[in-house]
Amino acid sequence: MLLRSQAPIATAPLVSGELALPDPGPGELRVRVRACATCRTDLHVIEGDLPPRRLPLVPGHQVVGTVEAPGPGATRFRTGDRVGIAWLRSTCGACRYCRAGRENLCESSTHTGWTHDGGYAEYCCVPEAFAYAIPPGFDDAEATPLLCAGIIGYRALLRSRVPRGGRLGLYGFGSSAHITLQVARSWGCAVHVLTREPARQRLAVSLGAAWAGAPGDALPGALDAAIVFAPVGGLVPVALRAVDKGGTVALAGIHMSDMPAMAYEPHLFWEKTLRSVTANTRADGEALLAEAAAIPIRPRVTRYPLSDANRALVDIKTSDVEATAVLMID
Ligand SMILES: [Zn+2]
Ligand SMILES: [Zn+2]
């Protein structure tokens, strides 16, 4: 499914097309794609919230498939191994961020489904160093949302500095938050979910949320930490007010509408901390996959045929899908 020019998803900008079989370069793998989850970032790429880096483009960066052809010098995986491909496709390894172990901030990183073709296709290539072994407990579709929604939520959870057993707030409840909730529950946290959608509130409670309501509702008490998943700047002061003295708010999105002006005393004084989350390191990905398998996390997925990619993306935009819309490739 190809994006030829950025446009609103309601206009069905993804069209099916035939491309040559991609050749894996040195150190790369050609992967036969089995499933690819959609992500709100795909919408930002498709609709133009993020600048175009390559057109036409195959979107998709939560890819699960099997190694079909290792490229020259690729030895980490064998043909037939099941691997995952995530948003972070390569880093330079040489800039000051990479050298400091902060490759998520690399100045010349590349990205699956943005700078390079992604997984809304039968085949996708990835540098083997940036592929993940998929734990056996997940089927192909279930494993896909771990690769961005799961990893980014996990980094956001770490960045929120919520203590084990602490009170955590999640603003917005989609694919990423529904996995993060399950990790936080395994840490003994009382999770409070704030979303306007009644169906999402019910899903949150069914997954073990201590409380669920709308963003304007009064919480049962102050939070130790909060994560804002919704790309809505207006939620930032709401979350900052809701955290206790010394609390932290982490912003998990790659794109957010403007934040309103904030007053110092209720929002940031009392040593409150506001942090953003930018992509992830490979270490975050490995840690999330290991923890997800051990808990185990049960991602909720709704399957769509690849040819229905436009419909799947409309559904995540309008919250018409339970948690994660996954494209299945036959
Ligand atoms: Zn770098
Ligand atoms: Zn994503």
pLDDT band at 253 (very low <50, low <70, confident <90, very high): confident
**pLDDT value of residue 254:** 82
Q: Is the pLDDT of residue 18 over 90?
A: yes
Q: Find the mean pLDDT for residues 41-58.
A: 95
**pLDDT value of residue 255:** 85
What's the first-to-final CA gap in the chain, in angstroms?
Answer: 14
What pLDDT, in 10s, does the model give residues 148-157? 999 999 999 9
- Quote the ligand 1 centre to 312 CA distance (angstroms): 34
What pLDDT, in 10s, does the model give residues 71-99? 999 999 999 999 999 999 999 999 999 99
Q: How far is CA 285 from CA 12, 17, 277, 315, in A?
A: 32, 31, 14, 27
* CA-based nearest residue to 168, from 257, 125, 229: 229
- Quote the ligand 1 centre to 102 CA distance (angstroms): 8
**pLDDT value of residue 143:** 98
- Quote the ligand 2 centre to 266 CA distance (angstroms): 32
Question: Which residues keep their CB under 5 angstroms from ion ligand 1?
Answer: 91-92, 95, 98, 106
What pLDDT, in 10s, does the model give residues 53-70? 999 999 999 999 999 999
**pLDDT value of residue 128:** 98
- Quote the ligand 2 centre to 148 CA distance (angstroms): 4
In the chain the beta strands, taken as DSSP E runs, fall at: 2-3, 14-15, 28-37, 63-70, 82-85, 88-90, 110-111, 123-127, 131-133, 167-171, 190-194, 211-213, 223-228, 243-251, 273-276, 301-305, 324-328
pLDDT band at 322 (very low <50, low <70, confident <90, very high): confident
pLDDT band at 184 (very low <50, low <70, confident <90, very high): very high
pLDDT band at 191 (very low <50, low <70, confident <90, very high): very high
What pLDDT, in 10s, does the model give residues 264-299? 999 999 999 999 999 999 999 999 999 999 999 999
pLDDT over 90 for what percent of the chain? 96
pLDDT band at 330 (very low <50, low <70, confident <90, very high): confident
Return the structure tokens found at 51: 């600048």
